[in-house]
Amino acid sequence: APGAQRFIPPDADTIDELRAASGGCQGCELYRDATQTVFGRGDESARVVLVGEQPGDMEDQKGLPFVGPAGRLLRKAVDDAGLDPAQIYLTNAVKHFRFELRGKRRIHQTPDRVHITACRPWLVAEFARLDPEIVVVLGATAAKALLGPTFRVTKQRGELLPWPASAQHPEDFTEVPVDSAGTVTDAPEARLLATIHPSAVLRADDQDKAYEGLVADLTVAARALS
C-alpha cells in the first residue's frame, strides 16, 4: 500500500485542517468499503492523548471516534479514573473501519500491519500538532503503530514509560524506539502508558475484573499529570 503520506497537506497547521484532508485519503484499500474517515477529536492542547485501534461500526456511521459501545465503556473508565474528559484527545491508529460482511452484518476485523503502516502518517501528523503530557496506548494495534512489534501490552500495561522526543518530530519518526524488553529507549519528552483496549473488556470472561484493570491503569495516568 502506498500509504497516507501523500494525502497529508504539509502546510496544515491545525488538527482541523488535517481532519478535513483525511476525508480524501486513499492510502490503503480500507477507504473503499467504509463509510467515511474517522479522525481524532478533542482539544489540541489536551494533556492526555488516547490512541485506540480503528473506528467500529457506529463510529464509521457517525464519523466520530469512540461513540459506540467500546467508547461508552472507555468514557466511563476515564471518568472513574479521575481524568478530566475536557483534557483528552481521542484518536485511532487506523482511520477507516475494517470489516467483513456476513449477510447484512458488518463484522469487525483487526487491521493488518499494512493498514497500520499505511495509516501511521496521520497519527504522526496528529502528534506533531499535539503536545500531550501522557499518551495512552489502548491495546495491541495502537502499540504496534507507536511502539513496533516487540512491545507487549500484557507485559507492560500500567507502567509509566518515557514518550520519546523523537515521537514529537514526524520527520524522523518511524516508530518509538524500544529495546528487546519493550522499554522505550529514547530521551523522554512526556510519558506513555499502555493498557488494554476497551473492546477487550467487553469480550472478557470476567468483565468486572477487566474493567477494574483498565480503570487502575488509567488512574496511573491521571495521577501522573502534574
Q: Which of 15, 19, 21, 31 binds ligand SF4 (CB under 6 A)?
A: 31
The sign of the CA dihedral 152, 156, 159, 161 is negative
Kindly identify the residues of this chain, within the stretch 172-211, that bind ligand URA according to CB under 6 A.
Answer: 199
**CB closer to ligand URA out of 71 and 121:** 71
**CB closer to ligand SF4 out of 4 and 194:** 4
Applying CB under 6 A, the span of 2-10, 67-75, 124-132, 188-196 interacting with ligand URA comes to 67-75
Q: Which of 7, 31, 39, 66 binds ligand URA (CB under 6 A)?
A: 66
Our CA angle for 87, 204, 202, nearest 5°, is 45
Q: Any contact of residue 52 with ligand SF4 (CB under 6 A)?
A: no
The CB-side HSE value for 35 (13 A sphere, CA atoms) comes to 13
**Rounded Cα gap, residues 48 and 198, in angstroms:** 17
**Rounded Cα gap, residues 85 and 160, in angstroms:** 20
C-alpha distances in Å from residue 172, one per residue of 117, 124, 157: 15, 10, 26
**CB closer to ligand SF4 out of 8 and 210:** 8
Cβ distance 41 to 14 under 8 Å?
no
Q: How far is the CB of 53 from ligand URA (least distance, A)?
A: 4
Which positions from 71 to 110 touch ligand SF4 by CB under 6 A, shown as an x/- string? -----------------------xxx--------------
Picked from ligand SF4, ligand URA, none, the partner binding residue 71 (CB below 5 to 8 A depending on kind) is ligand URA
Residue with cell 463510529: 59
Picked from ligand SF4, ligand URA, none, the partner binding residue 56 (CB below 5 to 8 A depending on kind) is ligand URA
What are the φ and ψ backbone dihedral angles of 92, each rounded to 5 degrees? -130, 155
Q: Which of 119, 142, 145, 153 binds ligand SF4 (CB under 6 A)?
A: 119
Q: Which of 31, 37, 42, 53 binds ligand URA (CB under 6 A)?
A: 53
Q: Which residues contact 16 (CB under 8 A, 6 or more apart)?
A: none
Cell of 111: 487491521
